[in-house]
Structure 1
Amino acid sequence: MMSTDHHVDRYAHQLLLALRGREVPSDRIAEVVAEVESHVAETGEDPWEAFGTPQEYAAAVAGARTAPRAWTWLAILLGGAAGYLSAMVVFALVVQERDIHGVPLVVAAPLALLLAATAAVTAQWHHRPVVDPRTGRRRLPGGGGPTVVVLLVSLAAVAGVAALTRGLG
């Protein structure tokens, strides 16, 4: 079966994500995806037929590397804590409370922002961009997308606390 560019791009994207999920280093991900694309371009073969599903091929490439590393858990923990604290700050602002479990909002909101920023930096530091070795073009930015959302919510919570304290003071 002849593959279309969109079909190959979709396979390559799913493979990239599957390899990323198995903690394969960015340089190796770039090599594997480039090899798949080159093979399909040269043979016209369907990537699903030639390599199996992206998840199956990622498992074969990654081998025993399946468990997330400690830094991944750290980023998840920090992002979760930041998300929880940010949500609590926003809730406290909505119901016009001045503290969360005895912690003043002027402390809790910057703490949420600090946790989110630390999670974002941790995620970005370890999920380097995947760069196509043939073109030098970035395939996918580093990880941390959900953490960036939490970071923005935390920033909004800090702004809300700042506005609330100005209004109360």
Structure 2
Amino acid sequence: MAKFYDVLSPELIEFIKNQKVFFTGTAAPNGRVNVSPKGMDSFRVLGPNKVAWLNLTGSGNETAAHLKQLNRITIMFCAFEGKPLILRLFGSAKTIHPQNDEWAEYLELFPEPFGARNIFVVALDSVQTSCGFGVPLMEYKDDRKVLTDWAERKGEEGIKDYWKEKNQVSIDGFPTGLFD
């Protein structure tokens, strides 16, 4: 049975800290819905109603584009090990890019992998738990190094060139704000 809460409890915060993967969901008023898997050491709980995650360079920048169009987001965690649980965080987000004043302040919260492109700071308006009985049991092995190795090989200028080519608009043509 699903249960809704106004804030993250200490138990839910501890659950989040133990997860190795989470998913983000966003959508503009028109176009595709985007669901993205995220991992590595990229998520922080900043308070009972506030979370943040560091977004690395990827093939698209859908989350940033969608949030400029319609500022709503869902973040989902699933227990793949241990007691079953699904946790959904609902809210709105501020997108922080490297050129923004707050970038350095929030970047300090994370290890700085090469290719960091956005930080999303999410104000939570609702938290939901559900059973997770249908989620398979899986064993965590390790984080993949492919993305960070690729970004390091590209170098700072190569990453910026990649952003200009691949990350300025969403797959539906919406601007991401990466160079605003």
Instruction: Flag whether TM exceeds 0.5 (same fold).
Output: no
**Which structure is higher in helix share?**
1
**Which structure is higher in strand share?**
2
TM-score (norm 2): 0.23
TM-score (norm 1): 0.24
Which gives a bigger RCO, structure 1 or 2 (Cα 8 Å, sep 6+)? 2
Rg: which structure is higher?
Answer: 1
